[in-house]
Amino acid sequence: MLLAIVGCIPEIMGNPFPSTQEFVDFGRKTCFSLFDRISEFCQKKGKAERTDGREGKDENNITTVLDKFVQRIFEDEIRSFREVNGLPIKILGEEIKSQVDMETFEGVVAFIDPIDGTDLVFRGFGNWCLALLFFYPKERRIIASFVGLSTHELFYATESGVWREIRPKTFEENDEVERRKRISVARDLEKPARLEQAIICFYGQKAKYFNAFAQQPKIKALLTEFEKRSESEVIDMRLYNFGGNPMIAKVASGDVDIVIGLFPQKVYDVIPAAYIARQAGALVTDLNGESIDFAEKLKKYEERVSYIVAGNRSLHTDVKALVQ
């Protein structure tokens, strides 16, 4: 039996507004279906020795083909949901050039990122994800947000809580209840309390981003200090140059402690997971430590966002001091 996720919003254009649970059921079903479709696509195409990761990829590039393939499925599923419920839904995303007037639109906006890290899919790496967020601009309200990881692991959140669900390829329907777990906001937010113990991720896969991060004077000094101290004590800190939705979602479960985005990213690369992390009790701020207004960022979706996501206040304070 599905864990209850309560909440609904008023009628719209004469039709009953779908309940939060209906959005959640749709998002879960769609994300797990997309995992299977992506796997099938990759099995047919095989692993690529090289992919073109440049901006504005060629239309025949394999990563572009997969992006558009998954985007079409996403769009078709959302249109079906819209037709069944008589609900106006606009779709925004990386590959979608449409515009939405957030001040006058009466319906729901679906922010989608079909695959965040498409080149990683074809290189056989696992650090890619898909993201979906339903936003009701009229009430400045996020209805539900989903981040699906390549491990067939799905994080999703509503105003009522956060869930983590794992559905491996061997999934059987009878296993469904056992594989879904609600993430408790009451987890111990004081651990780890020091950067020496933290798992830190930052957006920096490309050379210019990695170098800019590593050359930040305070960060460079900290790493030099840890290097010297490691000769006589255990330094458990791990630093990974991955950021965005895949890593931010893992802050919610405590698998990652800090994610830093020094370089402004598009809202659908950050907000779906940032909402999940905040609902789980994490701190989500800009680089100055000011809380990020998700609704405002989504309404001004063409702007970009830099961020600090930290599992507890002590870590957040230390990281903020480093990046300011």
> What are the sequence ranges of the domains in the chain?
20-183, 195-323
* pLDDT 10s digits, 105-119: 999 999 998 888 777
* pLDDT 10s digits, 227-286: 999 999 989 999 998 889 999 999 999 999 999 998 899 999 999 999 999 999 999 999
Residue 8 predicted with pLDDT over 50: no
Top-level CATH class of 195-323? alpha beta
| Dihedrals phi, psi of 150, to nearest 5 degrees | -65, -15
* pLDDT 10s digits, 80-111: 998 888 889 999 987 677 899 999 999 999 99
pTM: predicted TM-score of the whole model, two decimal places: 0.87
CATH number of 20-183: 3.30.540.10
pLDDT exceeding 70 applies to what percent of the chain? 83
Place 6 in a pLDDT band, splitting at 50, 70 and 90. Answer: very low
- Please give the average per-residue pLDDT across 35-61, as a whole number: 62
